[in-house]
Structure 1
Amino acid sequence: MTETHFSGVYPAMTTPFTPEGDIDFEQLQTDARRLVDAGVDGLVPVGSTGESATLTHDEHVEVVEAVIEAVDDVPVIAGSGSNSTREALELSKRSADAGADGLLLISPYYNKPEPAGMEEHYRTIADAVDVPQIVYNVPSRTGRNIDVDTVVSLASHENIAGYKAASGDLNRVSEVVERTRDEAFDVLSGDDGLTLPVLSVGGTGTISVVANIEPERTCALVGAALSGDFERARAIHHELGPLTRQLFVETNPIPVKEAMQMRGHGSARMRPPLSRLSEEHRDRLRELLSELEGRELEQEAER
Structure 2
Amino acid sequence: MWTGVFPAVTTKFNADDTLDHAEMERCFALQMEAGCDGLIVCGSLGEGSMLSQDERLAVLKTAQGVAGGKPVLMTIAEAATRDSANLARKAAKAGADGFMVVPSTIYHTDPAETVATLKAVAEAGDLPVMIYSNRVAYRVDVTVPIMEDLAKDARFVAVKESSDDIRRATEILTHFGDRFDVFTGVDNLAFEALAVGCTGWVAGLVVAFPKETVAIYRLMQAGRTAEALAIYRWFRPLLDLDVSTYLVQNIKLAEVHALGSNDRCRMPRMPLSGERRAKVEKVIRDAIACRPALPAV
Q: TM-score, normalised by structure 2?
A: 0.93
Structure 2 contact 39–67 (Cα < 8 Å) conserved: no
What SS does the aligned partner of 2:136 have? Answer: helix
Shift, 1:223, TM fit: 1.0
Rate the CA distance shift 1:239–1:252 in 2: closer, same or farther, 3 A: same
Rate the CA distance shift 1:182–1:266 in 2: closer, same or farther, 3 A: closer
Partner residue, 1:112: 108
Structure 2 contact 86–124 (Cα < 8 Å) conserved: no
Higher mean displacement: 138-147 or 199-208:
138-147
C-alpha distance in structure 1 between counterparts of 2:175 and 2:47, whole Å: 33
> Is residue 147 from structure 1 mapped to residue 132 from structure 2 by the alignment?
no
Rate the CA distance shift 1:294–1:192 in 2: closer, same or farther, 3 A: same
Corresponding residue to 1:229 among 224, 229, 236? 224
Shift, 1:295, TM fit: 3.7
What SS does the aligned partner of 1:135 have? Answer: strand
Partner residue, 1:24: 20
Q: Number of paired residues? A: 294
Structure 2 contact 38–67 (Cα < 8 Å) conserved: no
Partner residue, 1:187: 182
> Is residue 258 from structure 1 mapped to residue 258 from structure 2 by the alignment?
no
What SS does the aligned partner of 1:270 have? Answer: coil
For 1:66-85, what aligned pairs fall within 5 Å after superposition? 66-85=62-81
Structure 1 contact 135–160 (Cα < 8 Å) conserved: yes
C-alpha distance in structure 2 between counterparts of 1:99 and 1:93, whole Å: 10
For 1:53-72, what aligned pairs fall within 5 Å after superposition? 53-72=49-68
Q: Percent identity?
A: 26
Structure 1 contact 254–277 (Cα < 8 Å) conserved: yes
Q: What one-letter code is carried by the residue in structure 1 that aligns with 2:254?
A: A
Shift, 1:241, TM fit: 0.3
Is there any run of 5+ residues in structure 2 with no aligned partner, and where?
none
What SS does the aligned partner of 1:44 have? Answer: strand
Partner residue, 1:201: 196
Shift, 1:249, TM fit: 4.6
Corresponding residue to 1:212 among 207, 210, 221? 207
Q: What one-letter code is carried by the residue in structure 2 that aligns with 1:14?
A: T
Rate the CA distance shift 1:265–1:159 in 2: closer, same or farther, 3 A: farther
C-alpha distance in structure 1 between counterparts of 2:144 and 2:213, whole Å: 28
For 1:37-52, what aligned pairs fall within 5 Å after superposition? 37-52=33-48
Q: Give deviations 1:20-65, integer Å, cap 9, x for gaps.
A: 1111111111111111011111111111111011101111111111
Structure 2 contact 91–125 (Cα < 8 Å) conserved: no
C-alpha distance in structure 2 between counterparts of 1:182 and 1:220, whole Å: 24
What SS does the aligned partner of 2:240 have? Answer: helix
Is there any run of 5+ residues in structure 1 with no aligned partner, and where?
none
Q: Cα RMSD between the aligned structures?
A: 1.7
Structure 2 contact 253–281 (Cα < 8 Å) conserved: no
Partner residue, 1:285: 280
Partner residue, 2:32: 36
Higher mean displacement: 261-270 or 101-110:
261-270
Q: What one-letter code is carried by the residue in structure 2 that aligns with 1:83?
A: A
Q: Give deviations 1:57-94, integer Å, cap 9, x for gaps.
A: 11111111111123323211111222311111111111
C-alpha distance in structure 1 between counterparts of 2:41 and 2:123, whole Å: 23
